[in-house]
Amino acid sequence: MEVFGVILEFFRTDIFISFGLLTIPLLIGRFIPKIKDTVSKIDEAACRFIIFSGIVYTVSILLSYVYLFLVIGDSNNEYAITNRATGPYAWAYWLMMFSWLFITQPFRFKLVRKNILIRLISIPFFLITLEQYIILITSIHRDYLPLKWSDIDLGGILNTVPYWPLHLILKLAIFIGYVFIFHWISKKIKRNKVVS
């Protein structure tokens, strides 16, 4: 079960959030005449990759539950998942399960891929995951806030600030690498279909 958790976390943090971050420079690059064609090709490949990633993420979630219920058969996990799926936050559980499918599939349409306003509106949905939003809402609702705000160590958080730009650049570079690999594989598949 841990393998599925690692796969899902990889998609959330390294694919979807990186696509949200990459959308901004790609949209800016559309207005620079010298690189407009190159940026458009990268953007098209990134959109196709994100569509594919949304489907793979949803299939991975469904496979993890099939594996959990049919192979492992642990009654504690079954109870926890059944409670989440039918409890007071069941709407959030089901929405969270299919959220990336709903967020990524509109990129199939040219209107969504080419319209700058729609792309700008979609950026927060990629950067702030539904899981984070639901954790925040349930924490506020169930009053899981710290008793004293002085208990939070801001010094530890502020010490990591210089590394944030490096982290973002690395995330974008890795995502662009995945996009190029996906684009190369899809071109090879299309070429083999034409030859066959």
pLDDT in tens, 61-119: 888 888 877 777 677 777 777 887 888 878 888 888 888 899 999 999 999 999 999 99
CB 172 within 8 A of CB 21: yes
d(CA 181, CA 183) in angstroms, rounded, equals 5
107: tokens are 């990129």
Which residues, other chains included, contact 20 with Cβ-Cβ below 8 Å and sequence gap of 6+?
A: 122, 123, 124, 125, 126, 127
Q: Domain extents for the chain? A: 2-146+158-195
User: At residue 143, does pLDDT exceed 70?
Assistant: no
Check residues 132 and 172 and name the one with the higher pLDDT: 172
User: Quick one: average pLDDT of 148-175?
Assistant: 78
pLDDT tens string 1-44: 688 888 888 888 889 999 999 999 998 998 999 999 999 999 99
Scanning 31-152, the segments in alpha helix (DSSP H) are 36-66, 75-86, 90-104, 110-114, 116-127, 130-141
Residue 174 — very low, low, confident or very high, per pLDDT cuts 50/70/90?
very high
Distance CA 123, CA 133 (A): 15
What's this model's pTM, rounded to 2 decimal places?
A: 0.81
